[in-house]
Structure formats: C-alpha cells, structure tokens
Homo-oligomer: A and B are copies of this chain.
Amino acid sequence: MDIQTNWIKGFKFSAIAAGIKHADSDRLDLGLVAAEVPAVAAGVTTTNLVCAAPVEITRRCLKKGLCRAVLINSGNANAYTGDGGRLDALDLNLAVAHHLGTDLELVIPMSTGVIGNPLPKERMLQRIPELVLGVDRGSFGDVATAMMTTDTRPKTVCLDGWTSNGPFRILGMAKGAGMIAPNMATMLALILTDIRVEVSFLRESILYANSKSFNSITVDGDTSTNDTLVVLAGGAPDALELGPGRKDREIFSSMLDRACTDLARQIVLDGEGATKAVEVRVCGAPDENAARLVARAIAESPLVKSAFHGEDPNWGRIICSAGRAGVLFEPDRIDLFIGNVPIVRQGVLVQGDWESAAHEVMQAHEFSVLLDLKTGKGEAVMLTTDLSEEYVTINADYRS
C-alpha cells in the first residue's frame, strides 16, 4: 500500500504494541482511528445471542449515528467477561475520549482475540495517552495490521469516486472471519469515507452492502460473538456533502458495495486452511431469500467443501445439499454448471466427458458453481472456501 492510498481527509491513525495477548510481544495490537469532528456512523453487528461487551457499546453508538473515534484491539475479544468486561471497555473508551477531548458516547470499541479472559486494562490504560498522541504519525495500514489475529496479511481497500459535488474516497480495512484456535476470532471491518452522508441513507447503504458482501461469505458457518462492520462518513469539518440526486446516491452506494465486496473476498481468500475460493451462484429460485438458503446450504456443506478441496466435480453432493435447504423446486428441471461446464441440464446428467472438463475448472484457485432451479427469479451468491485437512489441523490444535 503506497502513501497515497494510506490517507483520507478527516481521519487520523495510530497503532502501538500494547502487549495485550503476551505482555512482552512487540506485535501491533492496539489501534486508533480518530475523526477531526464527529463523523456520521452506521453499521452492522453480530446476530449471535452471545455478544461481547464492545459490541453492546458499539450498538448504542450506532443508534445515535455519530462517532469520533474507533479503538481497536486484537489479542483479547473481551467476550464472555461479564460486567467486569463492560466496565473495562468503558474505562478504555473514557481514557480515549478524555485525551482526544471528546465525549465517551462518541467512541466505538472493537475487540478480537481470545474470549473469557479479562482485558489487561491497566497495561492498556497506561498506553492510551501515547496512542492518542500518535495520531499525527500513524498510518491506516498500521491500524489494519493491529486488528489482525490469525490473518496472514492485512486486508485493505481504497476506492476513489466522483459525485456531482466533487470527488470522494473510501478506505476500508478488515480482519478475517475464520474462527481460530486457541479461541474464536471475528470478522471486524471499518470503512471510512471523506464524504458526509446523512445517517438514514448511510444505514440503508451499509445494510445493503453488507448483505451482498460480508453476509455472503462463509468459511465455517460460525458467527462470532464480536462480528462488527462500521462505516464512518465525513471526518473533516469541511467535508464534502453527498448531494440529494439519485445518480450521486447510486454512485456512493455502489462504491460502498465494491469496498465491502473486495474486503469480503480478501477474507475468504485468507480463510483458515483455505486453498480455494468458490463462488456458489443460485438462480431461478422462488425468491432471493430462497436462493440464499440454497446457496448457503451448498456453501456450508462439509461434503461439498471437501470435494472442492479434492477438485472433484461431485455434482451429487451439490444437488443433495440444495435438496435439504428447505426450498421447493423440481429436481427434474434444474441446470448445474461448474465454471462454464454443464453437468446437469433439465435434471439429466449431460453426456460426454463433462467430468475431466469440470475437474480442470476446479484446479484453479478460484472458480464458480451455478445452480439454476428454474422456478422463479430469485438469485443469490455465496463465496466460500474449500475444506482442507489444514483447517482441521489449525482448529484441532490443543491450546498450549
């Protein structure tokens, strides 16, 4: 990432090694994103009933729709830590607010790492002044690095757009969705834009973008206690305003979609033990929701994912997974493709050597599967990984 794409008007960055997981580690694990003035905030948090303390606080902040700073740590999820965990998160937010000269309610906390352990709060509190002072020196990339857990690389995206009022930029960072040993990890994503957008439209846009991106990927079907996606719009006092025109709105929304989709794809490609990214497309379903159910059943089947790993065009498993998704369709009418190779047409296995052709498609690092149910207009796409022996090895490793 060059210096150009590391910068966005109205936001500053800082990251330090606070020794959160291991006291003597020099790994970046505490990051801060600070807006010059309160930015418009919207987002989505985990649907898991068991949610972490920072998620509860984030929800309150998103309800108000304004945010001045995001405090991000890896190494400890502050999840399942009870009232003590809630107090810890508030104390840290208070310190950030105090040193930044802003309100407690304007700070969003994001945590990822081991669960069930209290944060090393005292150690973290001592470093907050230094962290806040660092915002004039730090970079976006440093914060993207500080949020990593088992991710093998930071995940960032930078997009530039043009509205009738002028240019704008979207910068995004995310960390992986694979749930990991020794405990669970989390999907965290933070999107920044220098254009100011009213909160209702920002909410609408991020919900839609999320459904098409982060909600359409699966590594292992587990939803973490800490999953959070936040977008902040307009961090500078003189931020450009998004105009009311329909065209401008569409440009902004589609750019936000692209940013989220790009980050989601990076997460899948960096999934635990993943060697392939597979796009599962379902069309012709009764409606979009039905299409999503079928796509998810296929994308999360361990049998299908094992076959992807073995580059085995095992169409029977794909159709069988579709059949148990709880969606009505006629098996005798469906079409199935792997890449551009037809496997089943009108419910009948095609003649000829589809098998070696499909096997060849599957040898690629990325490929797609298309199932057409022929009963309606519902469509959905899920991006998934293969299931490798490596995934099991990573996740079975006994904690040491």
Shortest Cβ distance from A77 into B: residue:
B316
Question: What is the CB-to-nearest-CB distance from A189 to chain B, in angstroms, rounded to a whole number?
Answer: 19
Known contacts being A82-B332, A324-B49, is A184 close to B398, with CB within 8 Å?
no
Q: Does A161 contact B (CB under 8 A)?
A: no
Q: How many copies does the complex hold?
A: 2
- The interface residues of chain B lying within 8 Å CB-to-CB of A309 are 392, 396
Interface size for A (C-beta < 8 A) is 64
- The interface residues of chain B lying within 8 Å CB-to-CB of A303 are 179, 184, 220, 222, 395
- The interface residues of chain B lying within 8 Å CB-to-CB of A388 are 392, 396
The answer to whether B393 touches A82, judged by C-beta atoms less than 8 angstroms apart, is no
Q: Does A347 contact B (CB under 8 A)?
A: yes
- The interface residues of chain B lying within 8 Å CB-to-CB of A182 are 312, 314
Question: What is the CB-to-nearest-CB distance from A279 to chain B, in angstroms, rounded to a whole number?
Answer: 19
Which applies to chain A's interface (DSSP): helix, strand, loop or mixed? loop
Known contacts being A179-B303, A182-B314, is A222 close to B48, with CB within 8 Å?
no
- The interface residues of chain B lying within 8 Å CB-to-CB of A79 are 316
- The interface residues of chain B lying within 8 Å CB-to-CB of A386 are 396
B-binding residues in A (CB < 8 A): 47-51, 79-80, 82, 114-116, 179, 181-184, 220-225, 301-303, 306-307, 309-312, 314-317, 319-324, 327-329, 331-332, 347-349, 355, 359, 386-389, 391-399
Known pairs A80-B347, A225-B320; list 13 more (Cβ under 8 Å).
Answer: A48-B320, A49-B331, A51-B323, A82-B348, A115-B320, A179-B317, A220-B301, A222-B317, A302-B391, A306-B395, A310-B395, A387-B396, A389-B389
